[in-house]
Amino acid sequence: MFTYRRHYFIIAALLFLIEVLIAVYVNDRIIRPYVGDFIVVIFLYCLVRAFLNAAVLKVALGVLLFAYLVELLQYFDFIETIGLRSSKLANVVLGNHFEWIDILAYTLGIVLVILVEKSRNQSITPLRSA
């Protein structure tokens, strides 16, 4: 079940670095809010695949559902509910407002993951680990 795939870990580390650079240095209306959301699901997918021997489709859908859950928590203002509205870290990690376009960005990120994995000739069936 557990494994270590160096190439996924390296990609995850690079994507994490990009996400940090976006969060720290980019304050625009396109890259930070939407490209960041697109990249974050790819980062999470690569991070999970670096350590977990599970099927591509299972991991991809799990990451997508997790991203949807985070967005749903934003819809219900979860940060305010747990008293972390003033926490910059909580606002960056969990986000602070719901947007349908974020759902689209997450979905497109996972679609890209599945297409890339399929092009690498890996199985994307839910029952097979790769």
Query: Where exactly are the structural domains of the chain?
Result: 6-119
Per-residue pLDDT reduced to its tens digit, 15-72: 999 999 998 899 898 898 899 999 999 999 999 999 999 999 999 999 999 999 999 9
Other beta carbons less than 10 A from residue 110's beta carbon: 24
Per-residue pLDDT reduced to its tens digit, 70-96: 999 999 988 888 888 888 888 777 777
Is 0.75 topped by the overall pTM? yes
Query: What pLDDT shows up at residue 126?
Result: 57
How many helices (H) and strands (E) would you count in the chain?
Answer: 6, 0
Query: At 124, phi and psi to the nearest 5?
Result: -115, 20
